[in-house]
Amino acid sequence: MSGQYASPSQPCRRIATCSAMTWEGRSMDESITVRPAFPGEVGTIASMWREASSWLRSQGSDQWQYPPDLEKISRDVRRGTAYIAHRRKAYLGTITLDDFADPEFWSDADSPRDALYGHRIIVLPSAQGFHVGSALLDWASKRARAAGKSWLRVDAWKTNEELGRYYERLDFDFVRRVDLPHRRSGALYQRSSDTMTNQGPKVVHLEMPQHDINGNPSTEGAWGHTSPA
Ligand SMILES: CC(C)(COP(=O)(O)OP(=O)(O)OC[C@H]1O[C@@H](n2cnc3c(N)ncnc32)[C@H](O)[C@@H]1OP(=O)(O)O)[C@@H](O)C(=O)NCCC(=O)NCCS
């Protein structure tokens, strides 16, 4: 079911309504918080994926029409590379940011180590239209720059032309399209890590907060950082 959400303390049916506050109706002047996901938020990210998948289907897209890969999400949460965006007690979305250059997409000629790569970028349908994605990508550019990388890169679903236009509006350049029969992503985009569009809300980055938005401790489970792949 779309929007299933399992909080460590209380099950909830839709992410956007499971907290005391929701995004709707709130001012965009307020900053949003981006922080590593907690071990207990693997299910939250999976639910975000399902909501995005349903939204994409409703837009007529064939993107992400399969279940979330819980193993990969758990791996990224363990590594500390899966991030959650929220504003007060409302989840807004997620991004995974790492230095994994998918070898099927990026070659030696691309200087693959000179970039950070965004994956599983989601703004919940309830939070779309307020440039939260743009704010996440600006945040990612800053992280890339701080890590000494020249580029922020993404690979997008090949048939989602809207998404390609979206990245181009945010100053990404189309690099090329990689057509592999077993991969439906492969429209490659990059922008300089110096590029910010400053369209979205201000982002406050928290490295290791003590509690998630529902007050559940961050120390539960196998919390910890390892080097990105
Ligand atoms: C891509 C995404 C993160 C952008 O969210 P956002 O920052 O809130 O974007 P906004 O709603 O502010 O702006 C996107 C604009 O593109 C349009 N658009 C339509 N279909 C779109 C699509 N599939 N992807 C992105 N934008 C789309 C929106 O309607 C909007 O147009 P408008 O500005 O004229 O209203 C969000 O659409 C999303 O989560 N999409 C599903 C998951 C996804 O495809 N992620 C990218 C993986 S590479």
Best residue among 137, 166, 190 to mutate for probing ligand 1's pocket (most ligand atoms within 8 Å of CB) is 166
| 208 Cβ contact partners less than 8 Å away, ≥ 6 residues apart | 35, 36, 218
Q: Ligand 1 centre from 192 Cα, in Å? A: 21
Domain annotation covers residue 223: no
Does the pLDDT of residue 143 top 50, yes or no?
yes
pLDDT tens digits, 197-216: 999 999 999 887 667 777 77
Confidence of residue 219 (pLDDT cuts 50, 70, 90): low
Domain annotation covers residue 220: no
Domain annotation covers residue 37: yes
Domain annotation covers residue 222: no
For the segment 31-56, the average pLDDT, to the nearest whole number, is 96
Domain annotation covers residue 228: no
Domain annotation covers residue 115: yes
Q: Ligand 1 centre from 122 Cα, in Å? A: 9
Residue pair 46/3 in contact (Cβ under 8 Å)? The answer is no
Total tally of structural domains belonging to the chain: 1
Domain annotation covers residue 227: no
CATH code at position 35 = 3.40.630.30
pLDDT tens digits, 117-136: 999 999 999 999 999 999 99
Helix (H, G, I), strand (E, B) or coil at 194: coil
| pTM score, whole prediction | 0.85
For the segment 96-100, the average pLDDT, to the nearest whole number, is 97
CA count, 13 A, side-chain hemisphere, 102: 17
Percent of the chain past pLDDT 70, that is, above it, reads: 81
Query: What tokens were used for 193?
Result: 């890590």
